[in-house]
Amino acid sequence: MSSTTDLKQGLTILHKGNPWLIAVAQFVNPGKGSAFTRAKLRQLKTGQVVEHTFKSGEAVELVDVVRNKCQYLYNDGETYNFMDNENYEQFGLDKELIGDAVKYLIENTECYAMYIDGIPVSIQVPPKMAFKVISAPPGYKGDTATGGSKDATIETGATIKVPLFISEGDIIMVNTAEGNYVSKG
């Protein structure tokens, strides 16, 4: 097992005995203080999502995670089924283990399967993904009660806040870690 002092999005660390995937890592500089890193972490065995702030430069242990390309197939209620594109084996994961990524899955979505000690523990979707907007109410000029944005539904059924100029049928890029609109694709 190796260690790092550089906490970055996408790393999996061993913290207090459990593997945690760093979903988001942000720099924090508290006033007159030295640098810290605020991370949003997902526990890979339970799906629990927490925030924790690390001292920048604090050594953390890295978990060896094997990542294979995989493809989302279908879900039967609470279980989401995938196929590993390297060994063609199928596996199922509980919805909780997939976390927010569940919002970005449609049939045949390509993502990464994460294995710890040979066991599939979770999947990761690409940091940015393109989706077709299937419904977006027309925006009214001057309507900024919603901060100049409106809700649009993408093809997975998830709702994303988008600028007023986005309409049905547009392709948009979504930041899957933050769950927000990036650009019109």
Position 130 contacts another protein (CB under 8 A): no
Sign, CA dihedral 160-41-4-27, equals: positive
| Spatial CA neighbour of 142 closest among 122, 164, 173, 116 | 164
Judged by CB under 8 A, the stretch of 55-63, 65-73, 77-85, 88-96 that binds another protein is: 55-63
138 lines the binding site for another protein (CB under 8 A): no
Is 96 strand, coil or helix? Answer: helix
Instruction: Give the shortest CB-24-to-another protein separation in angstroms.
Output: 9
Instruction: Report if residue 42 touches another protein, rule: CB under 8 A.
Output: no
Q: Are 5 and 23 in contact (CB under 8 A)?
A: no
Q: Which of 3, 90, 135, 144 contacts another protein by CB under 8 A?
A: 144
Rounded Cα–Cα distance for residues 48 and 50 (Å): 7
Least Cβ distance, residue 76 to another protein (angstroms):
31
Determine if 16 is a binding residue for another protein (CB under 8 A).
yes
| Alpha-carbon gap, residue 84 to 70, rounded angstroms | 4
The residues of the shown chain that bind another protein, judged by CB under 8 A, are: 15-16, 26-36, 38, 48, 50-59, 142-145, 147-148
